[in-house]
């Protein structure tokens, strides 16, 4: 090291990437972080609302698993969040900042509702379901493809573009809600085809959510294979690491961007189809419920590993169900549950940071060259 | 790592399945509990939580009615108008509730869905319109003749306008009322029209402007709407939307305000006059007692001044005009004995424009007074008028169905935007 560089002042805190950490250790740290978060939550529960934290935790647990119905609701919510996270993953792995998941789901839901309303009494059940599915997948794909083409051809900023496409979708759906509302002026479409159940996803046995869970499991496995073992998946990874490298090895970056976003949007549209046909049977502007954004967090927290995403979305859904249960049981506002969830997520993001980076604090003796 | 992961996943699944089975056992126990009268529970589904004046009104009534009858309430808040409402209703049944209430219009279809699935449980939905045509024994609608309360609140507003004219703060021509509405839905139209007629019964020169937010609860939009009306020259405001947006804007601008769903005097001591609201305690008690005694509940129940369902809050003497209390008592007596009709067709005129579809269902005489009006009482997708609701020279609101169906646009009220 030269004299000049030695003289330069060393920063107080320096970060470097960890290369050495093994899986066993990293999972131990993650577990410790969650325990630490639960302890902090417990302290807050005791200090702010003066209740026994174990009561709160067990009530939250019952909120997600208390009855078979609750288990199914939790599984459905988990499936939908997971599906949307999976839809966003290929784009993020490619470092394409798709903030438009919400709009892509919504537009898929809109297309589904449109088919249910106008074709509900014209087509036989299975054909109608397939037409609805195709409509949802295609509109979702188009909604994602538009910003992708602009990015690939003219280098527009995809963050803003995809974000703004959400608002276009919301306004479009708001317009159609006023067109379809019953009764006039109420702002509600109500349950579509409530008596005929035309276009409703069939029940498996007595359970209405079984098919949703099964379909999401299939997509999850499919995406895992696609990203890990297919040529496309490899291309996505290369483009994400470095576009120059991709170009150098002969990958057409534009093509990969557009192709991946079509896939991403199509799965979001699929999620919209499941929401309308399988669960809500109506259309509202808030039907995606923010999952298009929560899914981004799930995807990044899991570092694009499809299997880890199951755990992440489970955690978020579990906390959400728990939060509404403590609101019902103890009269605590749901916002309190959100605070507890926020703390846990804060700790998880924190531990991910320290697993990936090592922090060096400057020592006064200055023997860091060693 | 894969081993650890698969282990965790396997454990989660085993865990989920064991709870499915133990959970089944648990819900059966819950069902048994629900059968004995002493352990009766009542479930309540609310769109928002107590931060919304609309939902707070329901939550307070639920707690009060249950305490009086010794019934345990289970209140679920922040339940959206979607599948979540059906799920919440089903969970309340699992928890042993013999009766489930929901408070928001958009919950209706999901309550019907639950009512079909659980015929032994009573489902009561406030503000809904379908019970009288749905034909289910265990599904019921309820509303109150809140237009009477609005009319009384309008009387207080009219007196305040008179006071402002007398004090020389405004001229008679400037007596313009502003109104922040949610949607162009009959419930809102009925509300602002009755309020306006109440005000005009005291202050003849009163006019009104209405703006719509397109949302039942949006504090920012309601505040913006109120500010727009104030800038437009409105000298007194009222609202039919559920947040504190409009009252807060009035307090900031020093404009007198008649609020809704409950008193806003704490936040707006300098501008709050009075508020009308529906007291749901009489209905909740009626339904829960019916369930306890094994009696049938009306498919469509309308509360009024007599049942104690329509009430005014205390008048803020600091802002209200002198003599308001006495005048309101006088008009209230008139409404109760039938000598005053809120929608007396001789007190307002309408302009029919069939081409634009304005008041298309109405027939009027030479002076513009309504003689026949086909209202959309039975809900269907075509929303066509099906019942003549003009009787004895008055528009009979809440007589053929509890939920309001008055949706005439009367002269003297200007709608600034009708997009929603």
The Cα of B103 is separated from the nearest Cα of chain A by a number of Å equal to 15
Contact A106, A170 (CB under 8 A): yes
Residue B21 has pLDDT above 70, yes or no: no
Residues 6+ apart with CB under 8 A from A188: A177, A181, A182, A282, B81, B105, B106
Question: Buried (b) or exposed (e) across B21-54, using 16+ Cβ within 10 A?
Answer: eebeebbeebeebbeeeeebbbbbbbbbbbbbbb
Instruction: Summarize the confidence of residues B331-342 as an average pLDDT.
Output: 93
Taking CB atoms and an 8 Å limit, are A68 and B188 in contact across chains? no
pLDDT band at B312 (very low <50, low <70, confident <90, very high): very high
Residue of B nearest to A75 (CA): B16
pLDDT band at B40 (very low <50, low <70, confident <90, very high): confident
Q: Which two tokens stand for residue B235?
A: 């000298």
The Cα of B74 is separated from the nearest Cα of chain A by a number of Å equal to 7
Residue of A nearest to B44 (CA): A328
* C-alpha to C-alpha distance for A228 and A234, rounded to whole angstroms: 7
Instruction: Summarize the confidence of residues B247-259 as an average pLDDT.
Output: 93
Residues of A in contact with B77 (CB under 8 A): 327-328, 333-334
Among B289, B282, B297, residue whose Cα is nearest residue B122: B297
Taking CB atoms and an 8 Å limit, are A327 and B77 in contact across chains? yes
The Cα of B192 is separated from the nearest Cα of chain A by a number of Å equal to 15
Among B18, B54, B40, B32, residue whose Cα is nearest residue B289: B40
Residues of A in contact with B21 (CB under 8 A): 68
> Which residue from B4, B20, B110 is facing A68, i.e. has the nearest CB?
B20
pLDDT band at B241 (very low <50, low <70, confident <90, very high): confident
The Cα of B56 is separated from the nearest Cα of chain A by a number of Å equal to 13
Q: What local confidence, expressed as pLDDT, does residue B20 receive?
A: 43
* C-alpha to C-alpha distance for B81 and B226, rounded to whole angstroms: 27
Contact B130, B291 (CB under 8 A): no
Helices (H), B129-241: 131-134, 146-166, 186-202, 219-231
Taking CB atoms and an 8 Å limit, are B4 and A27 in contact across chains? yes
Strand B310-312 relative to strand B272-278: parallel, antiparallel, unpaired? Answer: antiparallel
> Which residue from A68, A174, A281 is facing B24, i.e. has the nearest CB?
A68
Over the stretch A318-359, which tens digit does the pLDDT of each residue have? 999 999 999 898 888 888 888 998 999 899 889 988 888 888
Q: How far is the CA of B374 from the CAs of A16, B172, B387, B390, B409, in angstroms?
A: 76, 36, 5, 8, 14
Taking CB atoms and an 8 Å limit, are B420 and A178 in contact across chains? yes
Among B38, B115, B120, B40, residue whose Cα is nearest residue B73: B40
The Cα of B76 is separated from the nearest Cα of chain A by a number of Å equal to 5
Residue of B nearest to A283 (CA): B82
Over the stretch B86-127, which tens digit does the pLDDT of each residue have? 999 999 999 999 999 999 998 999 999 999 999 999 999 999
The Cα of B183 is separated from the nearest Cα of chain A by a number of Å equal to 6
**Which of A143-147, A304-308, B164-168, B192-196 has the least mean pLDDT?**
A304-308
Contact B43, B76 (CB under 8 A): yes
Q: Residue B390 forms beta bridges with which residues?
A: B395
Helix (H, G, I), strand (E, B) or coil at B385: coil
Q: Which two tokens stand for residue B195?
A: 């309020």
Q: Residue B207 forms beta bridges with which residues?
A: B176
> Which residue from B76, B109, B383 is facing A328, i.e. has the nearest CB?
B76
> Which residue from B12, B15, B81 is facing A188, i.e. has the nearest CB?
B81
Residues of B in contact with A66 (CB under 8 A): 19, 23, 26
The Cα of B379 is separated from the nearest Cα of chain A by a number of Å equal to 7
> Which residue from B12, B91, B113 is facing A191, i.e. has the nearest CB?
B113
Over the stretch A9-65, which tens digit does the pLDDT of each residue have? 677 888 888 877 788 888 899 899 999 999 999 999 999 989 999 999 999 999 999
The Cα of A303 is separated from the nearest Cα of chain B by a number of Å equal to 15
Q: How far is the CA of A34 from the CAs of A160, A306, A312, A351, in angstroms?
A: 34, 21, 12, 9
* C-alpha to C-alpha distance for B231 and B244, rounded to whole angstroms: 19
Residue A369 has pLDDT above 80, yes or no: no
Looking at residue B345, what DSSP letter applies? G
Q: What local confidence, expressed as pLDDT, does residue B12 receive?
A: 53
Taking CB atoms and an 8 Å limit, are A282 and B184 in contact across chains? no
**Preferred mutation among B3, B8, B85, B87 to probe A, highest tally of A CBs within 10 A:** B87
- pTM check: above 0.90: no
* C-alpha to C-alpha distance for B289 and B281, rounded to whole angstroms: 12
Helix (H) or strand (E) holding B209: strand B207-212
> Which residue from A67, A307, A314 is facing B26, i.e. has the nearest CB?
A67
Contact B276, B285 (CB under 8 A): no
Over the stretch B116-164, which tens digit does the pLDDT of each residue have? 999 999 999 999 989 988 889 999 999 999 999 999 999 999 999 999 9
Residues 6+ apart with CB under 8 A from A203: A210, A211
* C-alpha to C-alpha distance for A247 and A63, rounded to whole angstroms: 51
Q: What local confidence, expressed as pLDDT, does residue A5 receive?
A: 56
For chain B, give the percent of residues with pLDDT over 90: 68
Quick one: how far is CA A257 from the chain centroid? 20
Q: What local confidence, expressed as pLDDT, does residue A237 receive?
A: 93
Taking CB atoms and an 8 Å limit, are A184 and B383 in contact across chains? yes
**Preferred mutation among A77, A121, A178, A188 to probe B, highest tally of B CBs within 10 A:** A188
pLDDT band at A206 (very low <50, low <70, confident <90, very high): low
Residue of A nearest to B189 (CA): A185
Question: Buried (b) or exposed (e) across A97-121, using 16+ Cβ within 10 A?
Answer: bbbbbbbbbbbbbbbbbbbbbebbe
Q: What local confidence, expressed as pLDDT, does residue B204 receive?
A: 94
Which range, A221-225, B215-219, B397-401, is most confident?
A221-225
Looking at residue A288, what DSSP letter applies? T
Helix (H, G, I), strand (E, B) or coil at B43: strand
Taking CB atoms and an 8 Å limit, are B82 and A284 in contact across chains? yes
Q: What local confidence, expressed as pLDDT, does residue A224 receive?
A: 94
The Cα of B340 is separated from the nearest Cα of chain A by a number of Å equal to 29
Q: What local confidence, expressed as pLDDT, does residue B10 receive?
A: 52
Q: How far is the CA of A112 from the CAs of A129, A197, A346, B41, B188, in angstroms?
A: 9, 14, 37, 39, 31
Kindly list the residues of chain A whose beta carbon comes within 8 Å of any beta carbon in chain B. Answer: 23-24, 27, 65-71, 73, 75, 174, 178, 182-188, 190-191, 194, 279-282, 284, 286-287, 289, 307-308, 310-311, 314, 324, 327-328, 331, 333-334
The Cα of B110 is separated from the nearest Cα of chain A by a number of Å equal to 7
Q: Which two tokens stand for residue A229?
A: 């073992």
Instruction: Summarize the confidence of residues B35-54 as an average pLDDT.
Output: 80
Contact B312, B258 (CB under 8 A): no
> Computed from CA positions of residues A306, A308, A310, A315, in that sequence, does the dihedral angle turn out positive or negative?
negative
Instruction: Summarize the confidence of residues B45-71 as an average pLDDT.
Output: 91
* C-alpha to C-alpha distance for A265 and A269, rounded to whole angstroms: 6
Count of A-B CB contacts under 8 Å: 124
Q: What local confidence, expressed as pLDDT, does residue B381 receive?
A: 60
Residue A207 has pLDDT above 80, yes or no: no
Contact B189, B408 (CB under 8 A): yes
> Which residue from B76, B185, B380 is facing A186, i.e. has the nearest CB?
B185
* C-alpha to C-alpha distance for A310 and A306, rounded to whole angstroms: 7
Helix (H, G, I), strand (E, B) or coil at A59: helix
Strand B362-364 relative to strand B310-312: parallel, antiparallel, unpaired? Answer: unpaired
Residue of A nearest to B23 (CA): A67
Taking CB atoms and an 8 Å limit, are A185 and B420 in contact across chains? yes
Residues of A in contact with B189 (CB under 8 A): 185
Instruction: Report helix angle A291-301 to A306-330, nearest 10.
Output: 130
Over the stretch B361-373, which tens digit does the pLDDT of each residue have? 889 998 889 999 9
Helix (H) or strand (E) holding B388: strand B387-388
Q: What local confidence, expressed as pLDDT, does residue A338 receive?
A: 87
Taking CB atoms and an 8 Å limit, are A183 and B379 in contact across chains? yes
Among A312, A255, A266, residue whose Cα is nearest residue A94: A255
Quick one: how far is CA B382 from the chain centroid? 24
Taking CB atoms and an 8 Å limit, are B20 and A70 in contact across chains? no
Looking at residue B344, what DSSP letter applies? B
């Amino acid at each position: 090291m030269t004299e000049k560089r030695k003289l330069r002042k060393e920063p107080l805190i320096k970060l470097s990437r960890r290369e050495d950490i093994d899986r066993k250790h990293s999972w131990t740290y993650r577990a410790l972080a969650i325990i630490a978060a639960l302890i902090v939550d417990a302290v807050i529960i005791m200090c702010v609302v003066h209740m026994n934290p174990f009561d709160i935790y067990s009530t939250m647990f019952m909120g997600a698993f208390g009855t078979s119905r609750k288990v199914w609701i939790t599984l459905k919510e988990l499936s939908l969040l997971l599906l949307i996270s999976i839809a966003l993953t290929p784009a993020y792995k490619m470092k394409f900042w798709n903030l438009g998941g919400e709009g892509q789901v919504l537009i898929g839901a809109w297309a589904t509702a449109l088919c249910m309303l106008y074709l509900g009494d014209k087509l036989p059940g299975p054909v109608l379901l397939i037409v609805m599915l195709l409509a949802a997948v295609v509109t979702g794909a188009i909604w994602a493809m538009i910003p992708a083409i602009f990015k690939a051809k003219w280098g527009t900023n995809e963050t803003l573009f995809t974000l703004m496409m959400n608002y276009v979708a919301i306004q479009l759906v708001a317009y159609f809600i006023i067109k379809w509302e019953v009764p006039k002026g109420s702002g509600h479409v109500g349950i579509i085809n409530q008596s005929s159940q035309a276009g409703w996803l069939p029940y498996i046995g007595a359970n209405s959510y079984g098919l949703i869970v099964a379909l999401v499991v299939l997509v999850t496995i499919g995406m895992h294979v696609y990203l890990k073992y297919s040529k496309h998946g490899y291309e996505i990874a290369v483009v994400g690491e470095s576009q120059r490298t991709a170009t150098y090895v002969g990958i057409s970056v534009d093509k990969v961007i557009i192709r991946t976003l079509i896939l991403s949007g199509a799965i979001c549209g699929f999620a919209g189809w499941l929401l309308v046909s399988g669960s809500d049977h109506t259309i509202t502007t808030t039907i995606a419920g923010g999952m298009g954004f929560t899914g981004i967090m799930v995807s990044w927290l899991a570092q694009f590993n499809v299997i880890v995403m199951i755990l992440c979305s489970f955690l978020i859904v579990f906390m959400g169900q728990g939060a509404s249960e403590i609101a019902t049981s103890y009269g605590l506002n749901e916002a309190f549950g959100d605070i507890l969830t926020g703390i846990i997520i804060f700790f998880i993001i924190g531990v991910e940071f320290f697993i990936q980076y090592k922090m060096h604090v400057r020592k006064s003796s200055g023997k860091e060259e060693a | 790592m894969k081993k650890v992961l698969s282990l965790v996943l396997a454990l989660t699944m085993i865990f989920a399945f064991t709870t499915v089975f133990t959970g089944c056992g648990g819900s059966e126990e819950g069902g048994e509990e629900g059968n004995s009268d002493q352990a009766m529970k009542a479930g309540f589904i609310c769109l928002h939580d107590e931060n919304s004046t609309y939902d707070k009104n329901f939550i307070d009534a639920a707690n009060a009615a249950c305490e009086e009858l010794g019934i345990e309430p289970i209140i679920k808040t922040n339940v959206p108008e979607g599948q979540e409402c059906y799920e919440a209703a089903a969970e309340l049944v699992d928890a042993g509730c013999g009766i489930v209430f929901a408070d928001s219009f958009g919950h209706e279809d999901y309550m019907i869905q639950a009512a079909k699935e659980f015929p032994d449980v009573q489902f009561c939905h406030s503000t809904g319109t379908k019970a009288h045509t749905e034909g289910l024994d265990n599904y019921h609608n309820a509303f109150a003749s809140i237009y009477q309360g609005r009319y009384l609140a309008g009387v207080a507003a009219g007196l305040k306008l008179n006071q402002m004219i007398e004090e020389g703060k405004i001229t008679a021509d400037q007596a313009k009322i502003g109104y922040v509405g949610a949607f162009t839905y009959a419930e809102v139209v009925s509300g602002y029209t009755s309020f306006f007629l109440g005000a005009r019964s005291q202050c003849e020169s009163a006019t009104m402007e209405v703006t719509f937010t397109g949302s039942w609860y949006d504090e920012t939009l309601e505040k913006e709407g109120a500010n727009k009306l104030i800038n437009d020259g409105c000298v007194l405001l009222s609202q039919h939307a559920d947040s504190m947006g409009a009252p807060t804007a009035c307090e900031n601008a020093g404009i007198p305000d008649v609020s809704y769903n409950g008193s806003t005097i704490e936040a707006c001591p300098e501008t709050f006059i009075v508020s009308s609201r529906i007291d749901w305690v009489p209905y909740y008690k009626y339904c829960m007692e019916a369930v306890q005694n094994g009696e049938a509940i009306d498919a469509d129940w309308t509360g009024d001044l007599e049942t104690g369902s329509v009430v005014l809050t205390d008048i803020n003497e600091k802002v209200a005009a002198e003599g308001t209390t006495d005048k309101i008592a006088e008009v209230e007596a008139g409404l109760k004995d039938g000598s005053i009709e809120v929608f007396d067709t001789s007190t307002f005129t309408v302009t029919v424009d069939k081409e634009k579809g304005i008041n298309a269902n109405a027939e009027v005489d030479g002076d513009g007074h309504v003689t026949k009006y086909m209202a959309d009482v039975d809900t269907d997708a075509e929303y066509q008028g099906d019942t003549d609701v003009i009787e004895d020279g008055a528009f009979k609101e809440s007589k053929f169905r509890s939920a309001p169906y008055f949706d005439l646009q009367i002269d003297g009220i200007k709608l600034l935007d009708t997009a929603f």
